[in-house]
Amino acid sequence: MADDPTPLELVEFAVDAAWIAGRITLEYFQTPVAHEAKADASPVTIADRRAETALREMIAARYPSHAVLGEEFGRSGPDDARYRWILDPIDGTLSFITIDPTLAGFEFVVADKDGRQRLVTRDGQHEYVFTTP
């Protein structure tokens, strides 16, 4: 476990984590998955929650000094963390539950305190993974 991972290590980890979380969301894609309304009236499903939980567990195991800000479970980790992972397990839950072909997929960002950000997006329909350098 590196407290100061290289950018390449972060991106490789993010790609692997996105793949695992994406497999979770695909278990529910194109199925009649139940959903609830969040405080802002947007929907949330078990797929959202399971994927974010898996991501949080992977991040905590590999990078315990990193913080997380997630769509479903909020903030965790140290306030002064050098790195903060920003998670949105299903970007477009409404599209996901209505089986809309414009489903945006899965995305999360890892950002460090210096403002450098790297985006990892996993397209839930085609199983492509895209990253920025």
> Does some domain include residue 70?
yes
**Listed range (2-11, 33-42, 97-106) with the worst mean pLDDT:** 97-106
DSSP state of 113: T
> Does some domain include residue 62?
yes
- What domain range includes position 77? 50-115+122-133
Tally of domains in the chain: 1
Nearest-angstrom CA–CA distance, 26 and 124: 7
> Does some domain include residue 40?
no
> Does some domain include residue 2?
no
Q: What are phi and psi of 90, to 5 degrees?
A: -130, 110
> Does some domain include residue 8?
no
pTM (predicted TM-score): 0.76
Distance of alpha carbon 7 from the chain centroid: 18
Q: How much is the pLDDT for 122?
A: 53
Q: Is the pLDDT of residue 3 over 90?
A: no
Q: What are phi and psi of 75, to 5 degrees?
A: -90, 145
pLDDT digits (tens, 9 = 90+) for 51-94: 999 999 999 999 999 999 998 999 999 999 999 998 888 877 87
- CATH number of 70's domain: 3.30.540.10
> Does some domain include residue 24?
no
Q: Is the pLDDT of residue 99 over 90?
A: no
Both tokens of 45, joined, read 């499903």
Q: Is the pLDDT of residue 50 over 90?
A: yes
> Does some domain include residue 3?
no
